[in-house]
Amino acid sequence: MTHDQYKYSLDIAFSVPIVSGFLSIMGSTTIVVMMLRSIGRRLSSTYGRLIFGMSCMDIMQSLAYCFSTLPSPRGSDLPWASYGTTLTCSVQGWFLFTGGTGTTMYYCSLCIYYVLMIAKKDITESTIRNKVEPFLHLIPLMFSITVGVFLGVTKHFNNAGTVCWIAPSPPSCLQLDEVECIRGKSAYRYRIMFQGIPVITVFFIILTCMIILTITVDRLANRMERYYPNRTNFSSVDSEQQNTRRGSFSIPSINAMIQQKEGTKIQGLFYIGAYFCTFLFPIIFQLTYMLSGHYYYILFILQNITSPLQGFFNFIVYIRPYVQIFSIDYPDLSFGRVFLKAIQSKGDEQHRRPTRRRRSLADRLRDPNYSKRGLTSREIHFQQVAATILEDNDVEKDAANQDKQIDPLKIDSKEGNRTCNDTQIALQKRLSLSLHAEENDCALSLHQDS
């Protein structure tokens, strides 16, 4: 490799973290702004508060990456400019370590939350909020901040190449006996203790959570398929079969429950995938360096690309459900405009969507010729049932009048009112099971929203 090629490769290695860090700052800052724009909606749940804490931690880490070598002490043997002091280098190292470790442990907290919500049937949202959530915040914050302060006080934050991190100063003092370490004498040991072990531990915890989420939801779907073999085709069977119950749940409500758990599982797996995309290459690079003692340039570049991108990956996963909702609500809009609407949303789209199903069915079923636009297939089916009931009542009334040889035009007002009331009573009896099933779905949706 010539000198120009070597300089060009260093420029790439040093510039990549700046671009990745900037993208990560934009992603995490967007999440924080979206949260603050609707505090009463998004920050009212455990999930929202965990994402908020993780995004704040990632902003600290990404900000440190964006400054690159600028906070390093003057005179450092670096290909890029350095204008700082040991103090500014320690501050950058503290931001990088605290933000990175805190974000990693918040990933673990989020995965534990998903497992508790899906796999544990006897744990409710209020139980998690009051008894579990304080620890999901306290452990990442206390560990990252406390260890970061310890490393700063013991002078272990020094220039590590592209940024200031846990490193010895001078860099070669731990490899060469004739070079004395001025700062960071235990840098490599602390790297393993405070960075390597936590990251690998969290890696296996998240992997275990991913397996538990997948097995739990698939087992639930298989169990429901065994007990309700026709649950996926409930819209094509008659009204009596649709309202068949086991316990207190109807077939449509079981479908809604399974779909909700499946959606939660998918969202959790996307966050786990974001974690793996962030830390896979750094783990491989560090392991190969520890085992072989050589730097592999391609692994070094991949580490510099993915390590600062935590916030960007989190933003893509976080915004995904909102983009799906607006894509369905506005099919004529381009992807860019749908994406912009998702960012500008205030968090109530997922709560507004079920309102069509929660409207009173009785008002719409009074008129069998009511416009079918905007109705679900189930509501249209109810209207068809209502029209059939009214037609049958008209036929029975005509037959009764013919038997009694009574002219329908001569029926007094009392008799007409009584006949109308009988028709309404028959309609209510025939629709009672269907309406009760719909109310059950609405109650389940309200419970999930709360």
Domain ranges of the chain: 3-346, 355-449
In this prediction, residue 153 has a pLDDT band, given cuts at 50, 70 and 90, of very high
Q: What is the DSSP letter of 180?
A: P
- Name the range with the highest mean pLDDT among 48-57, 275-284, 433-442: 48-57
Question: If you average pLDDT over residues 255-267, what whole number do you get?
Answer: 71
* Pick from 233, 442, 251, 433: nearest CA to 356: 442
* Pick from 283, 271, 293: nearest CA to 107: 271
- Report the C-alpha gap between 10 and 232 in whole angstroms: 57
- Altogether, the residues listed in the chain come to a count of 450
> Please, what's the b/e burial string for 139-160 (b: 16 or more CB within 10 A of its CB; e: otherwise)?
ebbebbeebbeebbeebbbbbb
- Report the C-alpha gap between 69 and 210 in whole angstroms: 37
Any idea what the Cα angle at residue 272 is, between residues 113 and 254, rounded to 5°? 55
Q: Are residues 370 and 383 in contact, defined by beta-carbon separation less than 8 angstroms?
A: yes
Contacting residues for 121 by C-beta, under 8 A, at least 6 apart: none
Q: If you search the block for the tokens 């009334």, which residue do you land on?
A: 397
What Å distances lie between residue 425 and 283, 365, 385, CA to CA?
70, 14, 14
- Report the C-alpha gap between 128 and 257 in whole angstroms: 19
Q: How high is the pLDDT of residue 139?
A: 95
Q: How high is the pLDDT of residue 240?
A: 39
Q: Are residues 314 and 27 in contact, defined by beta-carbon separation less than 8 angstroms?
A: yes
* Pick from 59, 68, 64: nearest CA to 30: 59
- Within 10 angstroms of residue 338's Cβ, the number of other Cβ atoms is 20
Radius of gyration of the chain (CA): 31
* Pick from 231, 236, 235, 233: nearest CA to 254: 231
Question: If you average pLDDT over residues 196-225, what whole number do you get?
Answer: 83
Q: Is residue 68 predicted with pLDDT exceeding 60?
A: yes
Q: Are residues 198 and 104 in contact, defined by beta-carbon separation less than 8 angstroms?
A: yes
3-state secondary structure of 450: coil
In this prediction, residue 13 has a pLDDT band, given cuts at 50, 70 and 90, of confident
User: Whole-number mean pLDDT of the chain?
Assistant: 75
Specify the higher pLDDT residue, 397 or 69: 69
pLDDT digits (tens, 9 = 90+) for 112-151: 998 888 877 778 888 899 999 999 999 999 999 999 999 9
- Structure tokens that stand for 195 in this block: 């960075």
Q: How high is the pLDDT of residue 250?
A: 47
Q: Is residue 354 predicted with pLDDT exceeding 70?
A: no
Q: What is the DSSP letter of 169?
A: B
- Structure tokens that stand for 113 in this block: 């939350």
Any idea what the Cα angle at residue 278 is, between residues 103 and 146, rounded to 5°? 25
CATH fold of 3-346 reads Rhopdopsin 7-helix transmembrane proteins (1.20.1070)
Q: How high is the pLDDT of residue 275?
A: 87
